[in-house]
Chain A
């Protein structure tokens, strides 16, 4: 039983190393080359030539603006949809229905959601086919630049579809924490209409609780690579996509400029966060009077209607997009403007099965290993906190959001350069470590609440009966927390499946997963095979959740049989 104590002892530090280490090392790995210092490539004279070269890139200004706007607009729209809907519809039947629809959407990887949306809204997409020619009169796909539009609106729409479920579920958890029910009852008893009351009584208490997740959304939306590659503009692309292109440029002297670009991406994200922060101050200042103005209603019906429309649109877009993937993966030839494919066929899936083997195995392997490591680390860390609540285990908690807020393209790029400098062969091991950085925070967020809520008296009881701390952990804590642990593992697995950038960068393109293949195929090519890959990618996390729900039932049955 000694190994457990040792593990509990060191795991907070391990977590700190796993979270902060790669981010800080990665940032160091871009800052130095960005200013001309990388002796291995002959860069030994510090200076600004990389920045000069970067500033000469055509369209750089537009790239920066697109990334900045995407970060802010995506977050604002998503937050508005979620808060209007929660404010207007909490406790209704519509609310519970939406809750059931949005949770599975959260597990759909970004790339799959973006592909689904692309198939839906493109000029030759599903929507155009469904309304043609009877409504639109189109006999041929309209000559419109909808997907990959110059200002990235379709990319932002793709991000909103994924961020609404995320913010919604975060908000649900926070509502319980800030006693939203009590607050609403009080507001209602004072005569406030639901919307007016919610924004005065609940939102000010709720927002601080969801602030970090909101910041994570801003950071993600200002630096998303996979969604940008699929739906984003191309000439010029968003900054993050451009940085990836420079980084992948085989000309070694491009590394300096790419480093500067990655650092610029950090600045853009920091800029977006700062603008948002200023916006927060502004809203606080402006709304101070409004909060106590005493107005009992504020066009309730309109606002709650807007919230419902926003949420329904999100669900409908995602659901019909996924349905579109399913149709395409079985479609034979499907001419425009036919509403449905003229033929149905299994050939796409027959081909996909042959091509899916390795990507599927790699994705599952990396996902399982990264998740397992994360769960072990998080359990050790939480157990440490439970055993010695006064000890300084808070440090890792500060590091928790580091990988979610620092743009991945920046610090992963730095890691790639370090990897090359140290002569580490890119491959599965480094991909697993890269995934760990992103999986661990979500596993922690998912598990910590249940851990804290568990009544400490169970452990105390076990201890008074003579069990050592380790025995109490194995015999009491772990069995009682089996279900939350499995759910956390499923969340972690879903996060790992969705990772595009760490897989591509740290695996140097040699480790292919379902996600990297789906994104690579999206750039052109056969819709049918892309659809099959995207669907597979969307289904994998669901398999994880099904296992997480199914396993406890199985384990419980056995426990009951042994000890009736």
Chain B
């Protein structure tokens, strides 16, 4: 969408008539040559497009990159990151090992694990980015491990997320703070809560959140699933919980919302009283957009909520790797991270380490006003780490088997 027709035409001509162009691999350690090569490139950034504020942020980054580095950025909006993974996979199957259609992907978790396993990623490059040391990786292992899978420089950190629940304090002053309390409250107030479909990432996240609370953070969930693993047995408490919960959900659990933005709309319309989000800033964003009432507030479960880091990865056959690296480095700059963390902007916590910033930048982060409905870091508590990606896929599959066709 951030694209001009002239550019697309130019690109088309380039792809049609000079297929050998831009096939040389840029060297991430020689940043000046990366910058030079990036000039004039068009980066197709495949990023989930379901959150307008994030789209605004991406649009801003695109404008800045154009004016500062002469790099055109096109936001290819995905409804599911798996689309980009499958596209690269299909290109590999078709033997298209260069000039791929995807240059940069907003990614983490099972999608990263799959791409890394299938050798679909370019790299390692991320630790060579000039801004990477600002994340203080030695004291901040979260930027080197994604859902227990080692990153090894194949993707650059971009931001931190954590699950929050939000409620309208005017309608629901005392929200449930544990899964059993949730079940009790929903049984007493049928139709006032729901979660997204189990094959949507936020829905799967709710399943993981419930599982980790009901079963505890069992070591089993932090390793891969093999033939010996008793998946059904390990997840049995979750299904028992959901079987009890579903009859009391919105529309009696016959229909599930398609995603987080729909949940937010339903909160705004008063169709439900409680919702969840993977964006700690969700309630504030909704408030600023006039989508949620002024009485909205956020909270986390007593035993904590799942948190993770999201990253940027470059496919092995990307056409514009240099441009993609310049973009990733820019997004990791204090300026872009500050703008992203601003509740008026996209919201979400930075991956930069305050200790590594210069005093002026540190002050800017410190002076950032918290959103009126956003939790402070100490209120958020330590995030519960994500289980191994195999469990995400297993929960998704089992949910669809049990509740997919109504």
Which A residues fall within an 8 A CB radius of B? 40, 58-59, 123-124, 140-141, 143, 145, 234-235, 248-252, 331-336, 343, 345, 347, 351, 354-355, 358-359, 361-362, 365, 425, 427-429, 508-512, 517, 520, 523-529
Contacts and interface: CB of A to CB of B under 8 A. Distances in A.
A509 B76 contact: yes
B1 interface: yes
A52 B406 CA distance: 23
B50 A427 contact: no
The 10 A-B pairs with the shortest beta carbon distances in the complex, nearest first, are A250-B86, A524-B262, A124-B269, A525-B261, A524-B261, A332-B290, A333-B290, A512-B1, A336-B270, A425-B12
A59 B405 CA distance: 9
A252 B191 CA distance: 40
Interface string B44-72: 10000110100110010000000000000
A140 B259 contact: no
B86 A354 contact: no
A406 to B, nearest CB: 28
Contacts of A509: 76-77
Contacts of A59: 405
Which of A249, A332, A335, A343 has the most CB atoms of chain B within a 10 A radius of its CB? A335
Interface in B336-373: none
B93 A526 contact: no
Contact of B265 (A251, A347, A510, A524): A524
Contacts of A527: 265
Contacts, number: 132
Nearest to A335: B293
A384 B319 CA distance: 48
Contacts of B268: 333-335
A343 B50 CA distance: 25
Given A143-B251, A365-B5, A252 B90 contact: yes
Contacts of B264: 526
Given A351-B52, A510-B8, A527-B265, A331 B290 contact: yes
A59 B404 CA distance: 12
Nearest to B262: A524
B293 A333 contact: yes
Contacts of B270: 124, 140-141, 335-336
B292 interface: yes
B250 A143 contact: yes
A248 B84 CA distance: 12
Interface string B273-302: 000000000000001011111100000000
A347 to B, nearest CB: 7
A526 B76 contact: no
B376 interface: no
Given A355-B59, A429-B9, 20 more contacts: A124-B270, A140-B270, A141-B271, A145-B255, A235-B405, A235-B406, A250-B85, A335-B268, A351-B52, A354-B56, A355-B52, A359-B1, A427-B12, A509-B77, A512-B1, A520-B77, A523-B79, A524-B259, A528-B290, A528-B291
B83 interface: yes
Contact of B3 (A124, A252, A336, A510): A510
Given A141-B271, A143-B251, A351 B56 contact: yes
B89 interface: yes
A407 B359 CA distance: 63
A2 to B, nearest CB: 30
A509 B291 CA distance: 28
B15 A425 contact: yes
26 contacts: A58-B405, A124-B270, A143-B251, A145-B255, A234-B255, A235-B255, A235-B406, A250-B83, A332-B290, A333-B294, A335-B268, A336-B269, A343-B290, A354-B59, A355-B55, A358-B4, A428-B5, A428-B9, A429-B9, A512-B1, A520-B49, A524-B258, A524-B259, A524-B262, A528-B289, A528-B291
A336 B291 CA distance: 12
Interface in B152-202: 191
B258 A143 contact: no
Contact of A428 (B8, B56, B101, B293): B8
A251 B86 contact: yes
A44 B179 CA distance: 53
A333 B291 contact: yes
Contacts of B294: 333
Interface string B21-54: 0000000000000000000000010000110100
A305 B97 CA distance: 67
Contact of B89 (A250, A345, A359): A250
B91 to A, nearest CB: 10
B315 to A, nearest CB: 13
Which of A331, A517, A524 has the most CB atoms of chain B within a 10 A radius of its CB? A524
Given A235-B255, A333-B292, A517 B93 contact: no
B2 interface: yes
Contacts of A529: 52
Which of A141, A347, A359, A425 has the most CB atoms of chain B within a 10 A radius of its CB? A425
B87 A250 contact: yes
A216 to B, nearest CB: 31
A249 B405 CA distance: 19
A511 B8 contact: yes
A145 B251 CA distance: 8
A124 B290 contact: no
Which of B52, B55, B74 has the most CB atoms of chain A within a 10 A radius of its CB? B52
Nearest to A513: B1
